[in-house]
């Protein structure tokens, strides 16, 4: 028999309302976005790092093409992408928001000043839903466990056809090639994934290549007009 925890039993039903409130507030805010791309990457990347500058350039170019940038709202790569999005000068004259979905953490994370549309979260899972739900493409800069978590979650959603085959872009072949080599040498022969599953993502080494991949998707497929099946 499982032990009972009286305090948990009394708190959990009320916790549902806090969870619901996070979803209601974030859905209401983000549902007004136009086309958007989420950029993932390390919170530890410094502003002088080439990957920081690349994320900034990618986001700036996306903004100039009327595409909002969404990040986790914190420092490092997230700051770089929000910074680039805020710097964009689109030809339309209407600047898309630079969105930061910030999470409350006891260390490392605090909202960056370049996200001009911020949504704060207490729960990781509700934040993760919003990082995916409103995007038509995903850029993965070098990062740690959190970046890998988001990468494999979105790859799984595409693999299982719960969301469309949005562009999944891994930036920096030097950083990612070891992981991809292991997947191909270990997971694929063991039949833990299907042949061709590694084609679900693309590795690039320039901001121009990353942006062109997303723009090509928008030209040929278009931004989604409905909520992906995973979130209905």
pLDDT in tens, the chain (232 residues): 555 555 556 677 888 999 999 999 999 999 999 999 999 999 999 999 999 999 999 999 999 999 999 999 999 999 999 999 999 999 888 999 999 999 877 665 577 999 999 999 999 999 999 999 999 999 999 999 999 999 999 999 999 999 999 999 999 999 999 999 999 999 999 999 999 999 999 999 999 999 999 999 999 998 777 667 776 6
Q: Which pLDDT does position 105 carry in this prediction? A: 73
Distance CA 86, CA 41 (A): 18
**Pick among 3.40.50.300, 3.40.50.40, 3.40.50.450, 3.40.190.10: CATH of 19-217:** 3.40.50.450
Token representation of residue 222? 């278009």
Distance CA 204, CA 194 (A): 23
Radius of gyration of the chain (CA): 18
Domain ranges of the chain: 19-217
Q: In what order do the strands lie in the sheet with 202-204?
A: 117-121, 98-103, 68-71, 36-40, 138-140, 168-171, 202-204
Token representation of residue 144? 């740690």
Q: What is the reported pTM? A: 0.91
Q: Which pLDDT does position 107 carry in this prediction? A: 64
Distance CA 149, CA 219 (A): 29
Q: Which pLDDT does position 192 carry in this prediction? A: 96
Phi, psi of 70 (to 5 degrees): -120, 135
């Amino acid at each position: 028999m499982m032990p009972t925890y009286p305090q948990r039993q009394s708190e959990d039903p009320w916790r549902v309302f806090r969870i619901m409130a996070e979803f209601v507030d974030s859905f209401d805010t983000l549902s007004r976005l136009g086309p958007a791309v989420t950029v993932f990457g390390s919170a530890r990347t410094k502003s002088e790092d080439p990957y920081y500058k690349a994320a900034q350039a990618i986001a700036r170019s996306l903004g100039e093409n009327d595409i909002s940038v969404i990040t986790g709202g914190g420092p490092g790569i997230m700051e770089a992408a929000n910074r680039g999005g805020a710097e964009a000068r689109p030809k339309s004259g209407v600047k898309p928001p630079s969105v930061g979905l910030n999470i409350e953490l006891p260390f490392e994370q605090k909202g960056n000043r370049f996200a001009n549309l911020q949504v704060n979260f207490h729960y990781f899972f509700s934040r993760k839903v919003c990082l995916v739900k409103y995007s038509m493409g995903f850029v993965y800069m070098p990062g740690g466990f959190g970046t890998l978590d988001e990468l494999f979650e979105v790859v799984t959603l595409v693999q299982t056809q719960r969301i469309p085959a949005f562009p999944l872009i891994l930036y920096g072949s030097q950083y990612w090639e070891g992981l991809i080599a292991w997947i191909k040498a270990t997971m694929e022969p063991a039949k833990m994934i299907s042949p061709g599953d590694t084609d679900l993502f693309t590795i690039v080494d320039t901001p121009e290549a990353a942006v062109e991949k997303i723009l090509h998707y928008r030209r040929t497929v278009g931004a989604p007009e409905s909520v992906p099946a995973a979130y209905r």
